[in-house]
Amino acid sequence: MNPLLSSLQPYPFERLKQLFSTVTPNPAYAPISLGIGEPRHATPQLVLDALAKATAQLAAYPATAGLPALRESCVNWMQRRYGLKLDAATQVLPVNGSREALFAFAQTVIDPTRDAVVVCPNPFYQIYEGAALLAGAQTYYAPSDPALNFNVNWDSVPAEVWAKTQLLFVCSPGNPTGAVMPMSDWEKLFALSDKYGFVIASDECYSEIYFREEAPLGGLEAATKLGRTDFKNLVAFTSLSKRSNVPGMRSGFVAGDANILKQFLLYRTYHGSAMSGMVQAASIAAWDDEAHVVDNREQYRQKFAAVTPLLEAVMDVRLPDAGFYLWAAVPGGDDVAFARDLLAQYNVTVLPGSYLARDAQGFNPGAGRIRMALVAETAECLEAAQRIVAFIKQNHS
């Protein structure tokens, strides 16, 4: 067996299952889960129709590079969304969702024969860590900072770490914080990449759920504004899962540095990562339509506008820049006990923030916070918020 498998840590939801194994939820309340970030709004009919019309695609092996029509659809979306002009043949590649692509990308980029380091935010999406470890690299955790709107404090990473870094994962809008990285941070990271030669993987799967009037800044957009039109050492990852409410379709694309994507395509050809022709057809329909995305975003805006004020009255929490999570400090500071007791008393599931982070540089930046995924319908999320308010008033007033 691969000895690196032993370095993997349990996924947050496995830890949550273990935490709850001895808890009996209050049967007086129907269960409500805010624990898993799985979109639950309706899948657009246009996607379902496109899937149904493309069943003949099952009779043929799909190409790993994807259909030219899909790559053109992705390029056109990037033009409309970010004002970018990409080459569909060399700068875009379809992937089976951002999770699969993020993991595979690390295996392509990292050279384990050298003393490799992967820098990732803390707290973070655990695929970053697993991808790094299984590629033979060590991870360095750069903490998010409440004083920086929960963006990462990149200045806290020592120069000797950057010198060994081969890959940097950034997540903007962030999971779990919802923070959007400003241009000043992009400038800083591009300068560090130029100096030390590492690749930046920009995870942007929450980019289309936002609460400001201005859409979140993307990595390739930032590069273009800074004159870096070749996107040197930069690849962005995006997905239809949150944008179009199709997490089960496993569809997204990567875009950026053509030289890196050429090698990534080679890896994926051997990896067997071709997207089904049916899914490609449905993806074209999704990327080509914006009306359902606007409607989806409005549903989240109305939901967060209803739920956030209730929780603000009893917790340190505020509307995020983007995404569908609330990142809240818990009274008393014990996020694990809070999650356990909330389930026991009010049958509401939330995820302890410490489960999404690692102890590094002497502290765990997720400790004392919980992540709440407002993915259900508004009424259910409101009911959960009301129970949380009652729980806090009962136990922490």
This prediction's pTM: 0.97
For residue 108, what pLDDT is reported? 98
342 phi, psi to nearest 5 deg: -60, -45
For residue 312, what pLDDT is reported? 97
C-alpha 256/C-alpha 192 separation (Å) is 18
Nearest Cα residue to 178 out of 340, 300, 8, 350: 300
User: Token pair of 277, please?
Assistant: 């022709």
User: Token pair of 172, please?
Assistant: 């903007």
pLDDT tens series, the chain, 397 aa: 999 999 999 999 999 999 999 999 999 999 999 999 999 999 999 999 999 999 999 999 999 999 999 999 999 999 999 999 999 999 999 999 999 999 999 999 999 999 999 999 999 999 999 999 999 999 999 999 999 999 999 999 999 999 999 999 999 999 999 999 999 999 999 999 999 999 999 999 999 999 998 999 999 999 999 999 999 999 999 999 999 999 999 999 999 999 999 999 999 999 999 999 999 999 999 999 999 999 999 999 999 999 999 999 999 999 999 999 999 999 999 999 999 999 999 999 999 999 999 999 999 999 999 999 999 999 999 999 999 999 999 998 7
For residue 367, what pLDDT is reported? 98
For residue 397, what pLDDT is reported? 74
Decide: helix, strand or coil at residue 90.
Answer: coil
Furthest CA-CA distance within the chain: 63
Q: What is the DSSP string of 21-62?
A: TT----TTS--EE-SS----SPPPHHHHHHHHHTGGGGGSPP
For residue 396, what pLDDT is reported? 87
**CATH code, residues 3-42+292-396:** 3.90.1150.10
Write down the domain spans for the chain: 3-42+292-396, 46-289
386: exposed, middle or buried (C-beta count within 10 Å: 0-12, 13-18, 19+)?
A: middle
Residues 108, 125, 236: CA angle, nearest 5 degrees: 50
C-alpha 205/C-alpha 192 separation (Å) is 24
Q: Are 154 and 191 in contact (CB under 8 A)?
A: no
Neighbours of 200 (CB within 10 A): 24
Decide: helix, strand or coil at residue 156.
Answer: helix
C-alpha 268/C-alpha 217 separation (Å) is 28
C-alpha distances out from residue 96 to 175, 318, 334, Å? 20, 33, 37
Omega cis (within 30) before 176: yes
Query: 46-289 sits in which CATH class?
Result: alpha beta
- The H helix count followed by the E strand count for the chain is 14, 13
Q: What crossing angle do the helices spanning 335-346 and 378-396 adopt, rounded to 10°? A: 110
Neighbours of 191 (CB within 10 A): 11
Decide: helix, strand or coil at residue 219.
Answer: helix
C-alpha 109/C-alpha 6 separation (Å) is 22
Nearest Cα residue to 143 out of 369, 371, 365, 370: 365
